[in-house]
Amino acid sequence: MIIYIILMLTVLLCGTALNVNYTQKRKRNFLLLFFTIITALAMLRKYTVGIDTKHFCNGYKVISNLNWNSFDNINYEWGFTALCKLLNYISPEPQLLIIVSSLLIFPPVGMFIYKSSEDVVLSTYIFISLNIFSMNMNVMRQSIAVGIILLGLEYLKKNKYLFFIAFVLFASIFHQSAIICLIMIVYYRMNYKKRTLLYTLIACVIGFVGFKYIFKFAVNLFENYAGYIDSEFAVSNYFGTAFNLSICAIILVFGLIYYRTDGIYLLKKELNNQISYDFQAYSISACLFCLVVGLQMTILLRAKLYFTVFYISWLPNAIYMIDFKSIRILYKVLFVSFTMLYFIIIAVYRPEWYGVVPYEFSWQ
């Protein structure tokens, strides 16, 4: 746990001391430095870091003995299986999979922050403190898919929908659930109005009550999920999910209150070619829906990973829009303190949620 805390404190100290957010060049250099460190930590981790990492490493060994026409014999998507097969030609050691997957997962997040956040220091910090980093070291296949989606967002911003669809389809060969990101095309140009929050709450209630139908639909759409019906993931985790649900609700409401304190941001958004307020609001709302449904069945929480990543742009940008500097600083201190406490509580009392504590290097 110490290594993560040191990393978070270093992010804050360097970012504040160097006034990183002052220029685009400083932002770029800061993100290049710290996402190199983050990627290196993920690359050099032992197979025991991340609950699912050891399963993927075992799968890597199994795939080495499969023929290209025998991929149906393993319960992975074709793209991920092909990646493992190709890497086996280079080395049979699963550490290579950890290295390459880390390179596919984390640099796109750094690029997303650079293009979408007004406060890259706070974005990088909460990427770690809200356990998004931890989750990405756990669910390897889906995290690769998220990285691909983040790259595809650049085409969505330019209204090149066919290119974005191509990225979504490519992501789905690493994790089938990525196909749900096609919904982003639907709400990309939609305005997020006051009544939209009400519609979100109604959808959450319907999802909570009708979760069995949602899961059946998911099983029909993604055959790989059929095996989860009678597994440990078919049960609820009210404490953990309710905890994360509360955080999501706070982040969403805080952003809705402060994100557009005046009309300047709308002009700035166009100048910086950032992802719109409305798109991020819908994405956080989608995350809220996934968490509510996940109260009933843990496996359904996996869908939230495609939307949780927007925390790291939504929250810092909302704070950035507050007019009074003293209030901005106060909220920064509150969120930094709260999320640090959140990280420590999870690491100490619920380390089994992500399996990244204790951190060990591959040679240990």
Evaluate if residue 190 carries a pLDDT over 80. Answer: yes
Burial class (CB in 10 A: 0-12, 13-18, 19+), 42: buried
pLDDT tens digits along 239-298: 778 888 999 999 999 998 887 544 444 434 443 456 788 899 999 999 999 998 888 777
* Res 242: pLDDT: 84
**203 or 258, which is more confident:** 203
Q: Is the pLDDT of residue 344 over 70?
A: yes
Nearest Cα to 128, choosing from 361, 348, 342?
342
Specify the range with the lowest mean pLDDT, choosing from 37-46, 63-72, 139-148, 281-290. 63-72
> CA 199, CA 21: separation in Å to the nearest integer?
36
Q: What is the residue-averaged pLDDT of the chain?
A: 88
> Which tokens go with 17?
């001391």
Judge whether residue 128 has pLDDT over 50: yes
**Token digits of residue 175:** 């994790």
**pLDDT reading at 97 higher than 70:** yes
Report the alpha-carbon distance of residue 3 to residue 129 in Å, rounded: 12
Cα(18)–Cα(21) distance, integer angstroms: 9
Model confidence band, residue 301 (pLDDT cutoffs 50, 70, 90): confident
CA angle in degrees (0–180, nearest 5) for 170-174-177: 90
Q: Is residue 224's pLDDT more than 80?
A: no
Choose the weakest-confidence range: 34-43, 171-180, 206-215: 206-215
**CA–CA distance, 230 with 228 (Å, rounded to integer):** 6
pLDDT for the residue numbered 243: 86
pLDDT at 189: 84
pLDDT over threshold 90, residue 11: yes
- Report pLDDT for 194: 80
Check residue 15 and give its pLDDT. Answer: 95
Name the helix (H) or strand (E) containing 119: none
Q: How far apart are CA 82 and CA 71, in angstroms?
A: 8
Through-space distance between the first and last CA atoms of the chain, rounded to whole angstroms: 16
Q: What is the pLDDT of residue 268?
A: 43
Q: In this predicted structure, which of 100-109, 130-139, 169-178, 241-250 has the lowest mean pLDDT?
A: 241-250
Question: Can you give the pLDDT at residue 364?
Answer: 86
In tens, the pLDDT along 19-44 reads: 999 899 999 999 999 999 999 999 99
